[in-house]
Amino acid sequence: MLKLENISKVFNKGTVNEKVIFDNFNLNVKNGEFVVIIGSNGSGKSTLMNLISGKIKPDAGKIFIDNVDVSTQVEHLRAKQIGRVFQDPLMGTASNMRIYENLALASKKGNKMGFKWCISRHELSKYKKIVTTLDLGLENNLNAKVGLLSGGQRQALTLLMATLKKPKILLLDEHTSALDPKTAQKVLLQTDNVIKKDALTTLMITHNMNDAIKLGTRLIMLSGGKIIFDISREEKEKLTSEILLKKFSEVENCL
């Protein structure tokens, strides 16, 4: 479903601030895989997400989504195939619009809407049913403006919007790190349920070692723009947070 081939990316090239993030980087993600990505700051995690989404372009190499080369495709066109949830709950929704209006926008993603668009009773009923799955009590308050929701409610809604049209790839960029522990676990549970239900090909960045072990079908550790640890579901089942932290420390000490 996703292939990054010989990717190179350098920021501030030719200056004293030059920073090589990736140099001939390769990654293959199978259809339906849920890949959890860990690594220290500056290891290339967010840059990887930005390359896949099309927010930034590689200096060299190619990116394939479902066997189609999208390396030069602009971000808004690539967004038709990609759902993304950011760390900041404010980024995924329109604050001044109501819950049902946000869902309507998400459901029409990639379609031409023109200047006029309406929401039918059937659509409202569908949105109510979908929101019920969040178990946040929002289904009876679809008229509420999203700006009045808590951070956890907004992030759960953003997740719902990002997966409403079953994207080919779902990108989760530390999407629970700004939430309190209890809310974060609730959103993570919803995340896992949605991914499993629709068998979504997913990449998720996290700094939480326990979540990295518990979630996903594959675990990758990045360091210096390289994959230095890549294990399958079977190997993950033998991992503990202590073993993973030790591995993380060993890598950091070698830098």
Instruction: Write out pLDDT tens, residues 21-46.
Output: 999 999 999 999 999 999 888 888 99
Structure token digits, residue 49: 């997400």
pLDDT tops 70 at residue 112: no
pLDDT of residue 255: 56
Percent of the residues in the chain that have a pLDDT greater than 70, as a whole number: 95
Q: For 136-147, how does the pLDDT look when each residue is reduced to its tens digit (9 = 90+)?
A: 888 888 888 988
Q: Which residues contact 207 (CB under 8 A, 6 or more apart)?
A: 38, 174, 177
Q: Is the pLDDT of residue 127 over 90?
A: no
d(CA 220, CA 239) in angstroms, rounded, equals: 13
Burial 62-72 (b: 16+ CB within 10 A, else e): ebebeeeebbe
Q: Residue 30's pLDDT is what? A: 96
Domain boundaries, the chain: 2-97+150-254
Q: Which residues contact 210 (CB under 8 A, 6 or more apart)?
A: 241
pLDDT at 218: 94
User: Class of the 2-97+150-254 domain?
Assistant: alpha beta
What are the distances in angstroms from CA 191 to CA 73, 75, 165?
28, 24, 15
For the chain, give the mean pLDDT.
87
Looking only at the bridges linking them, the beta strands covering 34-39 and 2-11 are: unpaired
DSSP SS3 for 38: strand
Of the pLDDT bands very low, low, confident and very high (cuts 50, 70, 90), residue 93 is confident
Q: What is the pTM of this model?
A: 0.88
- Rounded CA gap, 129 and 127, in Å? 5
Q: For position 172, what pLDDT does the model report?
A: 95
AA letter at 38: I
What pLDDT, in 10s, does the model give residues 185-200?
888 888 998 999 889 9
